[in-house]
Structure 1
Amino acid sequence: MAEEPTTKGEKEEETKVAPTPIFGQGSTFAGTGFSGFSMNSGGFASSGTSEASGGTAAAANPEEECQAEFKPVVQLEKAEVTTGEESEEVKLEYKAKLYRYDFEKQEWKERGVGPCRILEDKKTKKTRVLMRRDKLHKICANFLIMPGTALQNHQGNDKTWVWSTPDFSEEEMKTELFTIRFGTVEKANEFKEAFEAGMKANEELGILDESKEAESKEEGEEKKKEDGVDELAKGLADVKVEGEEKKEEEESKE
């Protein structure tokens, strides 16, 4: 049987019935304003671009690190920072939490959390405890280990120690009651051993005698100041009395 000729309208209808896939490989964006672009593996490419140029673009690695160099706007110079610990040897260092007792409010207050070090000066051989707060590095404990200092557990906790000592962390000598807590019992025991070893070394160096001499000297200076103030006050009082006597004599002559 001879095939019936198809009309032009029927051909257009057949074309509309089976359109090409919209996002399939090789699909085009006809009639949407993107007819100049076609889909290929890995992205969009201009339909008018030759295969040679397309190969060059495909060869570029999108994950390759940028090699561009940018110079800083402001140049900062390196500054040397001294902590005062350069001439000291670290005998022990453990992270701990330190508390001080507030006698006015009668309660423990947290002083800081950070590395607690027992340091020995390489020249003088004096041993001290130095503790700084984490991140801020602010000193929260700084004192020589005084002979005769007694370490005791706080309420039976084997991870803690309580003791009293003259402290210089706030740039002023002040007697504090401290308690320190470590993460493990082993660390607490090692701290006690290093603390007592430093206490013995300082006793042999005569730290306690030096401290007493400094205290007596300070007391002597304070006494001199008080005596000087008393003498000055007495002198001013005498001047005042002499002036009043002259005034009385002049009044009596009149």
Structure 2
Amino acid sequence: MSEISEVLPQTPEREHKQSESSDTEYDVHYSPIISLPEVQVSLNEDDETEFLKIRAKLYRFDSLSEPAEWKERGTGELKILRHNENSSFRIVMRRDKTLKVCANHFITPWMELKPNSTNKKAFIYTVLGDFADEQVKSECLAVKFGSMENANLFKNKFEEAKKILKIDCDLYNGKVDKLINDSLNESLTENRNNEEAEEITKKLTELEVTNEDEKEE
């Protein structure tokens, strides 16, 4: 038996056990062959404040499949983010583990959450432009929560965001429309003034030509 043990290669565990009964101690440590630096990944949320963060499951309605059906898009953390400068709101959701984006779209004042007829913890809504697939798509989405408490919290925050948009976001509170109208009026006034100036210049030119003709006669 002792002969077999002498032939066997010494594993770290055996080395460690032997070191306990010997004067020499072995520090079992394996250095990595390749050292990879830590990479900081940006979520592109630096200019936004978290308005709500909640777990949910997301579905999209695939009208092109035969038959048309709801398809699961992912489960993970759903966030409502508020932009720090213009007070716009968007929904961002990433799948668990992979963190792949499965929802990325803005909230608008005219979006409506419709309760699911078969599940009180789920809502259905339509978005004109979702960027989850890195291209703009109109989607009909359904979001489901684990409890009625979470479902009600999402609904309340969603409706609160719509109210804030109408007050603080220039895109929806009328300020942008006013700026556009003012700009158009300025442009029209400038064009009108230019036309009047051209007309006056034309008349003065005609008058000078007439005077020159009279002098020659």
**TM bracket (short chain):** 0.5 to 0.7
Residue 58 (structure 2) aligns with = 98
Q: Which runs of 5+ in 2 are unaligned?
A: 3-16, 178-217
Residue 150 (structure 1) aligns with = 112
Q: Which structure is richer in relative contact order (CA contacts within 8 A, separation 6 or more)?
A: 2
Q: Distance in 1 between matches of 2:87 and 2:26?
A: 55
1:140 alignment partner, one of 85, 89, 102: 102
Which stretches of structure 1, 4 residues or more, deviate above 6 A after TM superposition? none
Q: Post-superposition shift, 1:71?
A: 2.5
Alignment-mate amino acid for residue 111 of structure 1: R
Secondary structure in 2 matching 1:207: coil
Secondary structure in 1 matching 2:31: coil
Residue 205 (structure 2) aligns with = none
Residue 194 (structure 1) aligns with = 157
Residue 33 (structure 2) aligns with = 73
- Asked if the contact 1:101/1:176 (under 8 Å) is kept, the reply is yes
Decide whether aligned partners of structure 1 residues 59 and 133 sit closer, same or farther in structure 2, where only a CA change above 3 A counts.
Answer: closer
- Asked if the contact 1:146/1:199 (under 8 Å) is kept, the reply is yes
Q: Post-superposition shift, 1:108?
A: 0.8
Q: Post-superposition shift, 1:67?
A: 3.2
Residue 135 (structure 2) aligns with = 172
The within-5 A match list for 1:25-174 is 60=20, 67-105=27-65, 106-166=68-128, 167-174=130-137
Q: Post-superposition shift, 1:156?
A: 4.4
- Asked if the contact 1:168/1:174 (under 8 Å) is kept, the reply is yes
Residue 180 (structure 2) aligns with = none
Residue 207 (structure 1) aligns with = 171
- 2:145 counterpart of 1:182: yes
Residue 193 (structure 2) aligns with = none
Q: Structure 1 length as normaliser, TM-score?
A: 0.55
Q: Distance in 1 between matches of 2:19 and 2:97?
A: 48
Decide whether aligned partners of structure 1 residues 179 and 74 sit closer, same or farther in structure 2, where only a CA change above 3 A counts.
Answer: same
Q: Distance in 1 between matches of 2:135 and 2:157?
A: 26
Aligned length: 158
Q: Which runs of 5+ in 1 are unaligned?
A: 1-32, 35-56, 214-254
Secondary structure in 2 matching 1:203: helix
Alignment-mate amino acid for residue 31 of structure 2: K
Q: Post-superposition shift, 1:171?
A: 1.7
Q: Distance in 2 between matches of 1:180 and 1:70?
A: 47
CA RMSD of the aligned region, Å?
Answer: 3.1
Decide whether aligned partners of structure 1 residues 85 and 98 sit closer, same or farther in structure 2, where only a CA change above 3 A counts.
Answer: same
